[in-house]
Structure 1
Amino acid sequence: MPDKAQLLLLDRDQAAALLQPELVMAAVREAFLLHANGEGRIFPLVREVLPAGVFGIKSGGVMQQELLGMKAAGFWPGNRQHGADGHQATIMLFDPASGRPQCLIDGNAVTTTRTAAAGALGLLALARRDSAALCVFGTGVQAAAHVDYALRVLPALRRVRYLTSDGRRDPQFEARFAQRCDIAPGASPDAAVADSDIVITATPGRGPLFAAQAVRPGTHLNCVGSDTRGKRELPEGLPARARVWADDLTQALTIGELQWAPQTPAQEFGTLLAAGGRARHGIAADTITLFDMTGIALQDLSVARMLQQRALATGTGTNVAWPW
């Protein structure tokens, strides 16, 4: 009854505890396929620069699955002065039949994990199966999550080289992966890229990170940092040399790497997954492949629904009276 309705709350630690990699990857994969076949809808993006940071809203739904919701998220760099994460996100699921809120979830861990899972799906579909060397730009939360998932899904991956904005070593980042791979700073951006099979860019997107000619044939790139108008990580001319996929073309042309190369032929990643990936899509071994990852609402919502279901099954979270 409306006067007995409840709202389920999942805080930071509760949400993180329920995020199992296999379940997250399955939910994100479903989101891509729903997007590809038109069952899932993505509503217009809100992404605004504020004096203290960037604020955005990603929303959408799958009416056949009674899934409707949004994520309000952004980046406030000043938070780091207080020992807090600059990225902040909150996810809300609604009942599409009534509009009543059903579940409120701290979205930071969800955002990090679903993005890394999407990147892992990109690697499985587009990177060469014999890829042994990875170069990552950035050593923050997002970069670490992407390296973690890459090592999970690519058994041949043995070497990781990382680049920081100031060129310094990051002992904490190295320690996190030291037992799983050969990890060390890259000698230089171009040298690290040229010596890698996979390149992951996970930075604030302040400008091109390396030279286009450093990318050798057969390299795959997961591009994460460009998620706002004006952000950029790739050098001019690189997308034209590559076969390009985006999680959502409209969004990528607005806020992703494709905003800098709008005439570049590109496809949506969900169609590649539906078609069976690299081998079945006729991608030659010497082809440069590029995944422009801006993050879509359906990823957040599919993972949030999985968390809601697991929370209800395990008694996790707090129920608050929410009459309507």
Structure 2
Amino acid sequence: MIIVPEKAIGELISPSECLAAVEQVFASMARRSAYNFPVIREAIGYQDALYGFKSGFDRDGPTLGLKAGGFWPHNMAKGITNHQSSVFLFDADTGRCRAIVGGNLLTALRTAAASSLSIRYLARTDAKVIGIIGAGHQSAFQLRAALGQRKFERVVGWNVEPDMLKRVADVAAEAGLPFEPVSLDQLGAVADVIITITSSFNAILKADQVRPGTHIACMGTDTKGKQEVEAALVAKATVFTDEIAQSVTIGECQHAISAGLIKDSQITEIGQVIIGKHPGRSSADEITLFDGTGVGLQDLAVASAVVDLAIAKGAAIEVEF
């Protein structure tokens, strides 16, 4: 069995390699060669933690496995990240455990890859201003990945705690772009692309704050009850997602579905756009929305790529198991 520890991940895989792995698995899902198993996600009643499992099988890999972990909101006070997870990969031919891979950085990279893919396939080609709602740990990964998809000229951001926006400003500065903290009204008025990456349980962005032609990547809603944008905004947009089953139950679309504003038949898997079965954006004035719920197959695809790279670079730790 191979072990790839958390500390080794950053040296092994690049954001572009993560994006390629996620793009491939979304395509496999669209071709029905890969599927996710039902998600288990529970509040465990201890340390205010959310814990669960995401798993699946990609026949094209073949890749079989699961990610176990969750969110411990008090971890920052202990000097460790709030999100903690590990990925377990199994040999699809025998069922034996093939590898254990640290899942924290991997989760951040694959989440950013998914939103940047949505920008690549759905945002207007002339998009110039990108807006970020949320300034937590994941926001830096989101912005770095997104900036490679269009020739952005400006970054704007909003966060409930404005001081935290320095994280977003620093990434913009790395790319040589100006950054401006703005109100939600201002952000919606100027942004061509908006990424929401919060842990909110109440709608932050409203339908009347978003102008025609905007692409929105909703990346924070992955649990029943969470919500980043108004249900009316979801209903106003052409909606895409990683997986429809998760979108309507634990994703951003859960609220528009429960309110009867949209039907699941109105949601398209982004994999269908990737493989050319759906045209994606149909006009310059269309509002497109990607509901990124985070599927287990994303984690497995990137973890499998990490294991292959670790073997190729001689960085794999092999143990008898």
Structure 1 counterpart of 2:211, from 186, 193, 216:
216
> What CA distance in whole angstroms lies between the structure 2 residues aligned with 1:179 and 1:293?
26
Structure 1 counterpart of 2:157, from 153, 159, 162:
162
List aligned pairs for 1:12-51, cutoff 5 A.
Answer: 12-51=6-45
Q: Deviations over 1:284-304 (max 9, x none)?
A: 100000000001111111111
> What CA distance in whole angstroms lies between the structure 2 residues aligned with 1:266 and 1:173?
30
- 1:137–1:164 CA contact under 8 A, matched in 2: yes
Shift of 1:141: 2.1
Distance 1:135 1:8, change over 3 A: same
Q: Deviations over 1:160-188 (max 9, x none)?
A: 111121233533432232142111211x1
List aligned pairs for 1:215-294, cutoff 5 A.
Answer: 215-262=210-257, 263=260, 264=262, 265-275=266-276, 280-281=279-280, 283-294=282-293
List aligned pairs for 1:69-88, cutoff 5 A.
Answer: 69-88=65-84
The reply on whether 1:171 has 2:190 as its aligned counterpart is no
2:110 equivalent in structure 1: 114
TM-score, normalisation: structure 1: 0.92
Q: Deviations over 1:254-293 (max 9, x none)?
A: 100111011422111111111177xx44611000000000
AA aligned opposite 2:191: S
Q: Deviations over 1:113-138 (max 9, x none)?
A: 01111111100100001111111111
Deviates more, 1:260-269 or 1:229-238: 260-269
AA aligned opposite 1:300: D
Question: Residue 230 of structure 2 aligns to a residue in which SS?
Answer: coil
> What CA distance in whole angstroms lies between the structure 1 residues aligned with 2:162 and 2:281?
39
- 2:64–2:92 CA contact under 8 A, matched in 1: yes
TM-score, normalisation: structure 2: 0.93
The reply on whether 1:132 has 2:131 as its aligned counterpart is no
1:318 equivalent in structure 2: 317
Q: Deviations over 1:183-231 (max 9, x none)?
A: 1211x11211221101100001221112210100000000011100000
Deviates more, 1:175-184 or 1:101-110: 175-184
Question: Residue 286 of structure 1 aligns to a residue in which SS?
Answer: coil
Unaligned runs of 5+ in 1: 1-6
- 1:90–1:105 CA contact under 8 A, matched in 2: yes
The reply on whether 1:194 has 2:219 as its aligned counterpart is no
The reply on whether 1:94 has 2:93 as its aligned counterpart is no
Unaligned runs of 5+ in 2: none
AA aligned opposite 2:212: P
Question: Residue 261 of structure 1 aligns to a residue in which SS?
Answer: helix
AA aligned opposite 2:6: R
- 2:207–2:236 CA contact under 8 A, matched in 1: no
- 1:93–1:102 CA contact under 8 A, matched in 2: yes
> What CA distance in whole angstroms lies between the structure 2 residues aligned with 1:43 and 1:293?
17
> What CA distance in whole angstroms lies between the structure 2 residues aligned with 1:64 and 1:166?
44
> What CA distance in whole angstroms lies between the structure 2 residues aligned with 1:197 and 1:173?
17
> What CA distance in whole angstroms lies between the structure 2 residues aligned with 1:282 and 1:56?
34
AA aligned opposite 2:287: I
Q: Deviations over 1:133-161 (max 9, x none)?
A: 1111111221111110111221x201111
- 2:156–2:187 CA contact under 8 A, matched in 1: yes
Question: Residue 153 of structure 1 aligns to a residue in which SS?
Answer: coil
- 2:281–2:288 CA contact under 8 A, matched in 1: no
1:4 equivalent in structure 2: none
2:304 equivalent in structure 1: 305
Distance 1:297 1:151, change over 3 A: same
> What CA distance in whole angstroms lies between the structure 2 residues aligned with 1:133 and 1:84?
33
Distance 1:210 1:64, change over 3 A: closer
> What CA distance in whole angstroms lies between the structure 1 residues aligned with 2:163 and 2:108?
24
Q: Percent of pairs identical after alignment? A: 35
Structural RMSD (CA): 1.5
Question: Residue 23 of structure 1 aligns to a residue in which SS?
Answer: helix
